[in-house]
């Protein structure tokens, strides 16, 4: 009977101890850093103590980022050929996650490249033709300038001046012969005047011939002047044509065609590149959300990732304002995880974040985030343990 009572007492004590071990752990103030990592029974719930050397509290590892559903980007769609990862795997930045059939996407790239090649060839031919046109215009200008130069060298008013002088001399000769004839008629005794009259008539003929020669010289001078102006106009026109050709260049439509084809090629190439879904950062695969063989398009979730690019944080929550009175970012912290109870991890306080509680009269509560130093341990989100934050050196 006495033995049965002892057995019953032991069972009751075991139940009570189990209930205490499974309850929530509170932050405690400790003067003994070596207590970190001890059993829960070593951390009784105590009221806030005066400023001490360290604050210990339970918590867990977590990522600084939310879970993200990853899918193919804009322009990529088709049959899902391969999913290269499984839930629970850790992937590095750039690792292949999934692949879709890219035959149509590759065809689009090839067609866009062909369009760009044609547009480029058309522009090059147009450029060569423009260069030929410029060369022809430069030659035309040179020819026009040479013709103008020759015309200016040949243009002279000498013949006109000679004709004018000849007319003056003819007019004077006519006047002199007339005067001689009239004088011969008044002489006494009278003399034969026929020779004087004939001389006067010949002088009239010469004067009339000189007038015609002057008229011809004036006409020739005017014609040469007009021809010279025509040559000057030819030079001006050739200069204008050359200037317009050089200023306008080839038709702008050739450049627009190349730009449009380039944009089309870039978009097609981006769509082809997006046929490979790769990890944007180091992450843990939380779930696979699609099945190979199905048709997917941009925006459809393929996998869900948890970003661990910047490592994991040890987070302890629900600390009171008394507990964090002396906790500040940058303070040294030591974390011991239950999974790796024989290894302590160095870290430092990254942030002290107030928790929003709308309950009136409730004490303020806080979350402390600890950034861990590099380690070779395989750390995973969700691992639990205890942190000791050193509030004094």
Tell me what the mean pLDDT of segment 138-153 comes to. 95
Place 243 in a pLDDT band, splitting at 50, 70 and 90. very high
203 with 229, same domain: the answer is yes
Could you tell me if 97 and 112 lie in one domain?
no
Same domain, 82 and 114: no
> Does 229 share its domain with 122?
yes
- pLDDT bracket for residue 1 (50, 70, 90): very low
Phi and psi, residue 386, nearest 5°? -135, 145
- Kindly report the average pLDDT of the chain as a whole number: 83
- DSSP letter for 49, please: P
CATH of the domain at 248: 1.10.287
**pLDDT mean over 305-333:** 87
Question: 285 with 176, same domain?
Answer: no
Q: Could you report the per-residue pLDDT of 369-378, keeping only the tens digit for each?
A: 999 988 888 8
The first and second tokens of residue 290, run together, are: 């699609």
Average pLDDT over residues 330-337: 93
Side-by-side strand order, sheet with 295-296: 276-278, 96-100, 78-83, 295-296
Q: Based on the domain organization, do 252 and 211 belong to the same domain? A: yes
Q: Would you say residue 3 lies in a domain?
A: no
Same domain for 159 and 84, yes or no, is no
Between 74 and 374, name the one with better pLDDT: 374
Asked if residues 185 and 193 have their Cβ atoms less than 8 Å apart, the reply is yes
Which residue bears the tokens 């065609």? 257
Question: What pLDDT, on the 0 to 100 scale, is given for residue 226?
Answer: 94
The confidence score (pLDDT) of residue 81 equals 84
- 265-317 confidence digits (pLDDT tens): 998 888 888 788 889 988 889 899 988 888 888 778 889 998 888 888 999 98
Instruction: Assign residue 55 the CATH number of its domain.
Output: 2.40.30.170
Q: Has residue 264 been placed in a domain?
A: no
Residue 209 lies in a domain: yes
pLDDT for res 385: 94
Task: Give the integer Cα–Cα distance in Å for 98 and 83.
Answer: 4
Asked whether the beta carbons of 79 and 275 are under 8 A apart, the reply is: no
pLDDT tens column, 339-358: 999 989 999 999 999 887 65
- Count of structural domains, the chain: 3
Please enumerate, as own/partner, the contacts of 198-207 that have beta carbons within 8 Å and a separation of 24 or more: 200/174, 202/177, 203/170, 203/173, 203/174, 203/176, 203/177, 203/178, 204/174, 206/170, 206/173, 206/174, 207/167, 207/170, 207/171, 207/173, 207/174
Distance between terminal CA atoms of the chain? 58
Token pair in block for residue 128 = 């060569």
Q: Is residue 81 part of a domain?
A: yes
- Regarding whether 181 and 132 lie in a shared domain, the answer is yes
Q: Which domain holds residue 364?
A: 24-64+310-390
At residue 302, the pLDDT reads 86
Helices within the chain (DSSP H only): 2-22, 103-154, 158-186, 194-248, 252-273
How much is the pLDDT for 113? 95
Domain annotation covers residue 9:
no
Distances (CA, A) of 245 to 120, 129, 138, 162, 236: 21, 11, 10, 47, 14
CA distances 296 to 87, 94, 95, 278, 279, Å, are 20, 21, 20, 16, 18
More confident residue, 19 or 162: 162
Instruction: State how far Cα 216 lies from the chain centre.
Output: 75
Q: What is the pLDDT of residue 235?
A: 96
Same domain, 331 and 370: yes
- In the predicted structure, residue 74 carries a pLDDT above the cut 80: no
For residue 1, is it within any domain?
no
Question: Residue 91: beta bridge partners?
Answer: 283
User: Of the candidates 67, 101, 102, which has an alpha carbon nearest to the alpha carbon of residue 87?
Assistant: 67
34 in a structural domain: yes
The answer to whether residues 26 and 47 touch, using CB atoms and an 8 Å cutoff, is: no
| Claim to verify: residue 162 and residue 96 sit in the same structural domain | no
CATH value at residue 292: 2.40.50.100
**252 and 112 part of one domain:** yes
Of 36-40, 105-109, 172-176, the one with minimum mean pLDDT is: 36-40
pLDDT band at 393 (very low <50, low <70, confident <90, very high): low
pLDDT at res. 320: 84
- The Cα–Cα gap between 88 and 85 comes to 9
Average confidence (pLDDT) over 136-145: 96
Per-residue pLDDT at 334 exceeds 90: yes
pLDDT grade for 27, boundaries at 50, 70 and 90 = low
Quote the pLDDT of residue 374.
Answer: 85
Q: In this structure, is residue 376 part of a structural domain?
A: yes
* 244 and 283 together in one domain: no
């Amino acid at each position: 009977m006495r033995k049965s009572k002892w057995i019953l007492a032991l069972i009751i004590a075991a139940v009570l101890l189990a209930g205490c071990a499974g309850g929530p752990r509170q932050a405690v103030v400790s003067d003994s850093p070596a207590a970190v990592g001890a059993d829960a029974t070593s951390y009784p719930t105590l009221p806030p103590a005066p400023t001490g050397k360290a604050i210990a509290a339970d918590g867990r590892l977590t990522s600084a980022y939310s879970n993200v559903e990853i899918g193919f980007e804009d322009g990529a769609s088709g049959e899902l050929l391969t999913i290269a990862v499984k839930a629970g795997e850790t992937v590095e930045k750039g690792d292949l996650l999934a692949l879709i059939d890219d035959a149509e996407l590759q065809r689009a790239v090839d067609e866009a490249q062909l369009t760009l090649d044609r547009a480029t060839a058309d522009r090059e031919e147009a450029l060569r033709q423009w260069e030929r046109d410029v060369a022809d215009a430069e030659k035309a200008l040179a020819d026009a300038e040479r013709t103008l130069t020759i015309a200016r060298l040949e243009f002279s008013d000498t013949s006109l001046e000679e004709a004018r002088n000849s007319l003056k001399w003819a007019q004077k000769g006519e006047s002199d012969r007339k005067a001689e004839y009239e004088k011969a008629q008044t002489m006494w005794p009278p003399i034969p005047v026929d020779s004087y009259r004939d001389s006067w008539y010949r002088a009239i003929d010469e004067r009339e011939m000189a007038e015609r020669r002057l008229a011809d010289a004036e006409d020739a001078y005017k014609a040469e002047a007009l021809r010279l102006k025509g040559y000057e106009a030819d030079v001006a026109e050739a200069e204008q044509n050359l200037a317009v050709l050089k200023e306008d260049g080839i038709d702008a439509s050739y450049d627009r065609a190349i730009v449009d084809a380039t944009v089309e090629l870039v978009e097609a190439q981006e769509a082809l590149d997006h046929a490979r879904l790769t990890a944007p950062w180091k992450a843990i695969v939380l779930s696979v959300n699609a099945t190979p063989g199905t048709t997917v398009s941009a925006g459809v979730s393929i996998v869900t990732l948890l970003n661990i690019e910047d490592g994991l944080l040890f987070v302890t929550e629900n600390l009171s304002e008394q507990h964090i009175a002396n906790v500040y970012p940058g303070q040294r912290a030591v974390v011991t995880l239950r999974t790796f109870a024989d290894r302590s991890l160095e870290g430092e306080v990254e942030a002290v974040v107030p928790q929003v509680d709308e309950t009136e009269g409730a004490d303020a509560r806080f979350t402390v985030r600890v950034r861990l130093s590099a380690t070779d341990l395989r750390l995973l989100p969700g691992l639990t343990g205890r942190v000791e934050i050193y509030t004094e050196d």
